[in-house]
């Protein structure tokens, strides 16, 4: 089945665009924002548990900063022109220079390392109008990004840990890796840094891939200008591959920004910078998720998890009471009180809502709901608390099923 996320995203109210805003600048509508918020919250918690500290940094920076980082020399064609406001300010094309300066903002000791800094931050790419499309190619990008600063002896362990975190995030989101690519230097002068640093970075990435026992292809000419990287590919239903997750080793920017920490002997030492994204940008991620799942998201990040359907006007108060209980438990529930029962059930199916909670006169009298599942199954009436607990358990487990195993009919 070939699903176009652009059509489906608009049908499901995930995102839209408007010519008054401009091409490549998507609007996240309430349904899309709810799903994105849930995914972002999960990623932040996954990172927090792995020892990352979260930061916020501005989407602007001086041109001078990007000249220092090397982006202006190697990436200027993909950057928006400077804004002249006393200083020359540029919309950032990446977050790494800001994170390098966060590292530099305080004196660092070897005891502080590895220092892991994470952010879901905005950045901008001056993509040409002819290549823009939906969420997969945009000018406004929100990237799940992180940078670890550590001695070279810790790099291999950090890369291996990131590979494991990527696998965990992909499993929760329902993604399956199609291939691993080791992206290396090619011919030409766009690459910055010493050959010895590049060779060491490549060796460390190869060792991490070998330790993870995953097959990979080495491809020349696909490295970042500052270092080699692991690109993790996801295939869409048509078999086209795209990169969501990346891991990069960078000796160049720590040297350019003169980053240093005090080692165990009291001397100054240079950290290595490990760039890492678990799932890439929110835009490309949701373009991929929409097409892979055909809009049928797992319960935990479905925009609306429960459509509450009162059979008649007399059951509206009961429907509101149940929806309120579900919302207070952390679920996303909406009451749909207009139209025939069949029409409302069909509307919930069109919107890929996992559960329809029907309340008729008998359910109202007993403070119960009759759950209809997205896959067509129906459950016997149950009390509000049990229904909320059942759906909450599925959401909390980030399961790709609609029922916990213990209550499957």
Q: What is the pLDDT of residue 405?
A: 65
Domain 5-293, second-level architecture: 2-Layer Sandwich (3.30)
Q: The tokens of 149 are what?
A: 């600063």
3-state secondary structure the chain: CCCCHHHHHHHCCCEECCCCCCCCCCEECHHHHHHHHHHHHHHHHHHHHCCCEECCCCCEEEHHHHHHHCHHHHHHHHCCCCEEECEEEEECCCCHHHHHHHHHCCCCEHHHCCEEEEEEEEEECCCCHHHCECCCECCEEEEEEEEEEECHHHHHHHHHHHHHHHHHHHHHHCCCEEEEEEEECCCCCCCCCCHHHHHHHHHHHHHHHHHHCCCEEEEECCCECCECEEEEEEECCCCCEEEEEEEEEECHHHHHCCCCEECCCCCEECCEEEEEECCCEHHHHHHHHHHHHCCCCCHHHCCCCEEEEECCHHHHHHHHHHHHHHHHCCCCEEECCCCCHHHHHHHHHHCCCCEEEEECHHHHHCCEEEEEECCCCECCCEEHHHHHHHHHHHHHCCCCCCCCHHHCC
Q: Where in the chain is the domain with CATH 3.30.930.10?
A: 5-293
Q: What is the pLDDT of residue 2?
A: 67
d(CA 210, CA 216) in angstroms, rounded, equals: 9
Alpha-carbon distances of 275 from 209, 263, 278, 309, rounded to whole Å: 16, 22, 10, 47
Handedness of CA 342, 348, 350, 353 (dihedral sign): negative
Q: What is the pLDDT of residue 377?
A: 95
pLDDT in tens, the chain (409 residues): 568 999 999 999 999 999 999 999 999 999 999 999 999 999 999 999 999 999 999 999 999 999 999 999 888 889 999 999 989 999 999 999 999 999 999 999 999 999 999 999 999 999 988 889 899 999 999 999 999 999 999 999 999 999 999 999 999 999 999 999 999 998 776 888 889 999 999 999 999 999 999 999 999 998 998 999 999 999 887 788 889 999 999 999 999 999 999 999 999 999 999 999 999 999 999 999 999 999 999 999 999 999 999 999 999 999 999 999 999 999 999 999 999 999 999 999 999 999 999 999 999 999 999 999 999 999 999 999 999 999 999 999 999 999 986 544 4
Q: What is the pLDDT of residue 276?
A: 97
Q: What is the pLDDT of residue 406?
A: 56
Q: What is the Cα 184 distance to its own chain's centre? A: 25
Query: Which strands make up the sheet holding 60-62, listed edge to edge?
Result: 60-62, 87-91, 83-85
Q: What angle do CA 60, 62, 66 make, to 5 degrees?
A: 95
Q: Where in the chain is the domain with CATH 3.40.50.800?
A: 299-407
**Contact in structure between 296 and 352 (CB atoms under 8 Å):** yes
Residue that is written with structure tokens 């207009």 in the block = 338
Provide the CATH number for the domain formed by 299-407 in this structure: 3.40.50.800
Q: pLDDT for 82-93, tens place per residue?
A: 999 989 999 999
Sequence-distant (6+) residues with CB within 8 A of 84 are none
d(CA 353, CA 372) in angstroms, rounded, equals: 10
Half-sphere exposure of 229 (CA within 13 A, CB side): 23
Q: What is the pLDDT of residue 303?
A: 98
**Contact in structure between 61 and 71 (CB atoms under 8 Å):** no
Q: Residue 324: is the preceding peptide bond cis (ω within 30°)?
A: no
Inter-residue long-range contacts of 163-167, CB under 8 Å, 24+ positions, other chains counted: 163/208, 163/209, 163/212, 163/214, 163/230, 163/247, 164/212, 165/46, 165/47, 165/50, 165/278, 166/232, 166/245, 166/278, 166/279
Q: What is the pTM of this model?
A: 0.94
């Amino acid at each position: 089945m070939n699903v176009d996320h652009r059509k489906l995203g608009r049908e499901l109210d995930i995102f839209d665009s408007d010519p008054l805003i401009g091409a490549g600048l998507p609007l996240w509508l309430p349904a899309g924002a709810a799903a994105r918020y849930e995914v972002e919250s999960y990623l932040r918690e996954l990172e927090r548990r792995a020892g990352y500290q979260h930061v916020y940094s501005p989407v602007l920076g001086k041109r001078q900063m990007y000249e220092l980082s090397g982006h202006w020399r190697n990436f200027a064609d993909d950057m928006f022109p400077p804004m002249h406001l006393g200083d020359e300010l540029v919309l950032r094309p990446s977050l790494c220079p800001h994170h390098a300066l966060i590292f530099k903002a305080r004196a660092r000791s070897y005891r502080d390392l590895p220092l892991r800094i994470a952010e879901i931050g905005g950045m901008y790419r001056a993509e040409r109008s002819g290549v823009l499309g939906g969420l997969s190619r945009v000018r406004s990008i929100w990237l799940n990004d992180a940078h670890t600063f550590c001695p070279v002896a810790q790099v291999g362990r950090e890369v291996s840990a990131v590979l494991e975190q990527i696998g965990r995030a992909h499993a929760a989101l329902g993604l399956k890796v199609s291939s691993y690519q080791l992206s290396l230097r090619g011919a030409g002068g766009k690459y910055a840094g010493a050959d010895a640093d590049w060779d060491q970075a490549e060796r460390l990435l190869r060792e991490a891939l070998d330790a993870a026992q995953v097959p990979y292809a080495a491809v020349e000419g696909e490295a970042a200008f500052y270092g080699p990287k692991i690109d993790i590919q996801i295939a869409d239903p048509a078999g086209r591959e795209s990169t969501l997750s990346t891991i990069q080793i960078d000796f160049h920017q720590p040297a350019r920004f003169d980053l240093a920490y005090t080692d165990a002997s009291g001397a100054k030492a240079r950290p290595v910078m490990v760039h890492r994204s678990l799932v890439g940008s929110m835009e490309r991620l949701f373009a991929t998720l929409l097409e892979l799942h055909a809009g049928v998201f797992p319960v935990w990040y479905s925009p609306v998890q429960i459509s509450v359907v009162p059979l008649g006007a007399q059951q509206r108060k009961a429907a509101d009471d149940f929806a309120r209980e579900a919302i207070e438990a952390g679920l996303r529930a909406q009451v749909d009180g207009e139209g025939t029962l069949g029409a409302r059930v069909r509307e919930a199916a069109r919107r890929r809502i996992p559960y329809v909670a029907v309340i008729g006169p008998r359910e109202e009298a007993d403070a119960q709901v009759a759950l209809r599942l997205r896959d067509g199954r129906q459950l016997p009436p149950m009390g509000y608390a049990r229904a909320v607990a059942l759906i909450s358990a599925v959401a909390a487990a980030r399961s790709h099923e609609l029922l916990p195993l213990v209550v499957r009919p």
